[in-house]
Each structure stands twice: as C-alpha cells, then as structure tokens.
Amino acid sequence: MSRQQVRLWAPDAERVELVLGADGAAREPMVASADGAGWWSVAADVAAHEGRYAFSVDGGDPVPDPRSRHQPDGVHAASALVDTGAFPWTDEGWAGVPMERAAVYELHVGTFTEEGTFDAAAERLGHLVELGVSVVELMPVAAFPGRHGWGYDGVALYAVHDPYGGPQGLARFVDAAHAAGLAVWLDVVYNHLGPSGNYLRQAGPYFTDRHHTPWGEAVNLDGPGSDEVRAYLLDNTRMWLEDYHLDGLRLDAVHALHDERAVHLLEDLAALADEVTERTGVPRTLVAESDRNDPATVSRRGPGGAGGLGLHGQWADDVHHALHVLLSGEAQGYYADFADEAAVPKVLGTTPFFHDGTLSTFRGRVHGRPVDLDVTEPWRYVASLQTHDQVGNRAVGDRLHHGIPAGRHAIGAALLLTAPWTPMLFMGEEWGASTPWQYFTDHEEEWLAQSIREGRRAEFAEHGWAGEVPDPQDPGTVAASTLRWVEVNEAGHAEMLAFYRSLLHWRRDTPPEVRGTVGDVVREPDGTGGEVITVVRPGVALVARLGGEGEVVVPVPTADGGEQPVGVDLVAAFPGSVADGAPELRLGPDSVVVVRR
C-alpha cells in the first residue's frame, strides 16, 4: 500500500474528512496541525481509489481540493492526483523569448480549432511560426464549469480544463511550442472566481467583504487569513512557470486586485518570476492587464520599496481605442475621447497612454500618468488592433475587419506592427477571419444561464442595440466562433495573411533600436475627401490613405525635411505600390505602404 500525505487549509473547521474515490465510498479523518495554522493532513492510499479524492468540512458535502491539478469529471466532482514531475519534457535546450523580442498571438484553445484541444492547437503551430510571431498567449485554461467557456469564470485555479486535454495536454502543447521556437504565456485570473463550482469559501477566508469586483467577490489579499490566500496565488504562479514550463502569465484586470499592504501582491509575483528566471536562465514574463494607465506597474522595483511594482509588461488599451475609432468611426462610450484628432499621433508617436493625466469624459475625471520612454522601455507596453475583450464583448462578436474595407484593416495592422510597443494579434486576425467571436458559456444551472442571457440583452439594449444577442448557452454560438482554417488560402484572406507576414518578419528581423521609438505622425486631408497619415521613425516610414477618391502619388516621407532617397526599400504594401523609377508611393483609397529608411 502506498500512502500519500494529503493536506487542506481550513482554519475555521472543527472537523475535516478526506473523501476517497469518485463515489466517495471511503472516508478518513484528518488531523489539525499543532501550530494552529489551520492545516489539516492525513496519509492515505489515494491511488487505490483511482486517484480520486475530495474533502468534507464539518460534515458538509464533499468538495474538490482547492489545489486540485485535475478535475476530470468537472468542477463539482472529486479531484484527481497528477504527478506533474512525470511529464516527458524534451525542451531542455529551450532558452526562452525575452519580452523585447515578443510578438504575441492570443488564442482560445476551445475555438482555435474545430477539435478545441491542446493537441489540435499544437498542429497549427507551424502557421504561427511562419506568420512571424514569437509568443502564444493562451486564454485561461484553469478548470471552469461545463465544456465551453471563455475561462474567466474559472474556479479550480490549479487544475487544467479537462475538455482541452487536461494537464498532460497542456504539457504537450508547451513542449511542442518550445520545439517550434515559440514561447507560451497563459492568461490567469486572480481577482475573483466564477459563481458556479466555487467551493473555496467552504475551506477558508479566501474572499472578503471589504472589497468588491464587477464580476464577483474580491479575493482576500490583506485581511485576516490573507497570508495563506496570497501563498495560494503565489504557489499557483510558481506551478505554471515551473511545473508546466510556461514562459509567462498575463494577469487579468490587476486593478481589481485590492491589496492595501505595503508590499502589493503584484510586487511579490514579479519577484517570484524574476527568481525563477535567474535560477533557470529562461525568461519568465508577467504582463498585467491594468485599467490605471500607470507606468509604475512596469517600473523596476528598487531598494527599500522605491520604484514600481516590477512587472515586465502591461496592456495599453489606449492604442487599441485610438486605432479602432480611426478605422471604424465608432466613437460611443469609452471610445468618445479617442475621436480627438490628436489621439492617433499621440499613441503612435510619443506614448502608449492617450490618457496620461488628462480628462477622461467616460470616467468623469482625470486619468493616467505620463510615461517616460527613457525610463520604461516601449516594448513593455502591449498594444493591439483586436483582442478577445474588444471583439467578444460586442453584441454579436463582430471583429473590427467585418465592418471596414480590407485596405483599412491593413492600415491598422501596419500602424500597430511598425509601432514601438509589443504587438498582440487575436487569433484569425491575420487572415481577416470571417468568423465572429462571441460570448459563450456552458452552465448547468438554469438560473445562472438565464441571468447571463438577460444581463447581456439588457446591457446592449442600454447602448441602443436593437438586434438579437446570441444565446451564450447555445452550442451554435461556440460553433459560430470557431475559426475556419480553410479560409487561410482563399482569395482575400491569403492576401491579408501575406501582408501580416511581411510586417511581422520585418519586425522580427529588425532590432528595436533600428526600428526606432518615438515617431513623427502627421494626419492631413488628401484633397479628395480622404485622409493621409504619415509615420516616420528612424528605421521605417509608413504612408496610409483612408478613404478618398482616385489615386494619389506622394513622395517617400523623410524626417526633418531630409533628402529624398534614391531608391525605395519596400517592406509591405496593401494594395498600394511604389512608383516605377522614382521615390514615390501610389495610394488608392484605403491603402498603405511601408518602406525601410
């Protein structure tokens, strides 16, 4: 008989039992630690019960292990033992991808392929290598209710979602990505848990009434018992980085991590990642999604608490917002401020934050803090043209390129990929995928499913949406959101894919110091009702034309009135071209040309 030590933190419990087997047929009493720290333990032969176990606290129904590595029967069932040390890794020579060389591709495992698994996603890694990205960012894979979902309602933070392939599937995917030369980041949610299958509150004070988030109870980071709660999150981060060899984490909505301690949880997480990097020699990257527009998020930590939080990167949504308004003309809600003529020149020319101490009319207050790019490197800011949030949180999940001409889509790609910020693509963007990406769930509780349906309908009705909102619980919503890979070689899609490849290969092969940081960005009318945007950086120049009529011919732009080049070194064009025998560019309506300088 092989007995294994099993532990549970339940500081307020008077009695805890280990429940063995998927059917819970056997029970063994657990013993409280003598130091009063709230840990209960017992040595048991879990393997004899097919590796399944759960806990009963004070005679309550069995609940999964808060640190369960696998929930093969769903988040409401017994946990399963997993030996992550037994994964057959082959990436011993993997050196990693430092963030300054990152070009990120965000994907959702369940809709990236028809099969919706890690193994099926791994079969498409060659496409990403050829595309020219260097990092794959997986949307959350921590176990969540049902089969289908975005993953932001996860409730078993240590378990890998079984329908995707479970722990072994994730390990195989990361191993295959490293073999292909791609780093893997994972999106994790530490600010709240989903409403269905959340059993943590039965074990201990994981949540607090002192703070709230828009999505549920706030995690207890600074109240009584919070030392163990923080350890729970720090150990989770270490598990992803070490046991699964992940290269980084994207931390969801860190502005909702309410922590009043002198040392914020984010600072502890950054220190942990840096320690793993130093010990292994493989870069480990933490990127925050933050609504604060505060460069202190990625400013370096200093002695005695000086400096910032020390994270390695953060999303810069203002770049997305400015590009979205420029290309689509939509200017409602939080987009309103970005209709300012100065928005695009600012976020492409000098700073990733349009709101850097300026009035945000949507918030009704001043927002943000200035960025000093001599202190904080531009590649620490992750910018995008489309993300899962900005697409999936629209009423019907329509992508940006569904409502604009293909040439305008190409303009957005060129403006993003020639900027100094770290670019992030959303799956399918690179070929102008026809599929939407909609909000979907798979809750078994009808009251919860109906609440979500009604909530989304009401939300979009408030914003003037009069059409139907897809039912998140309908399997057809998932099917509609699944990429159609046959499109890759079809007319229209293939040309966009080639354009993206050209820009990403140029970016990959051109060091940041050659590409340049700040740029001269000029917007001016083209004389036919359209607009010409010119961007000049030390190593690259871009000319884009939005709208207009007929063809215009413009000289290759130079900085500070410099001399015209003798020839033109083309990076990419869609569908503009270089005039034969002259340093001039020909642009029709909605076209763009990118040249080396």
- Give catalytic residue positions: 252, 289
Residue 482 zone, left/alpha/beta (φ > 0; ψ -120 to 50; rest):
beta
Give the DSSP per-residue string, 87-111.
-----TT-----GGG--EEEE-HHH
Tokens describing residue 244: 């699964």
Q: List helix spans (H) across 469-547.
A: 475-480, 493-509, 512-515
DSSP codes joined into one string, 201-252: GGTS--EEEEEEETTEEEE-SSSTTHHHHHHHHHHHHHIIIIIS---EEEET
Beta bridge partners of 29: 17
Q: Which of 172, 106, 112, 104 is nearest to 134 (CA)?
A: 104
The Cα–Cα gap between 590 and 576 comes to 9
Helix or strand or coil: residue 196?
coil
Is the Cβ–Cβ distance between 587 and 545 less than 8 Å? Answer: yes
Evaluate whether 66 touches 16 at the Cβ level (below 8 Å).
no
Are 399 and 386 in contact, with CB atoms under 8 Å apart?
Answer: yes
CA 321 to chain centre: 16
* Angstrom distances, CA of residue 484 to CA of 23, 129, 437, 475, 480: 41, 19, 12, 16, 9
Q: How far apart, in Å, do the first and last CA atoms of the chain sit?
A: 71
Report the C-alpha gap between 495 and 221 in whole angstroms: 49
| Residue 545 amino acid letter | R
- Residue 97 CA to residue 292 CA, distance in Å, equals 27
Cα–Cα dist 274/159, whole Å: 24
Rounded distance between C-alpha atoms, residue 239 and residue 253, angstroms: 21
Distance separating alpha carbons of residues 186 and 163, to the nearest angstrom: 17
- Measured in whole angstroms, the distance separating CA 201 from the mean position of its chain's CA atoms is 27
Residues with Cβ within 8 Å of residue 138, at least 6 apart in sequence: 107, 108, 109, 184, 185, 186, 187
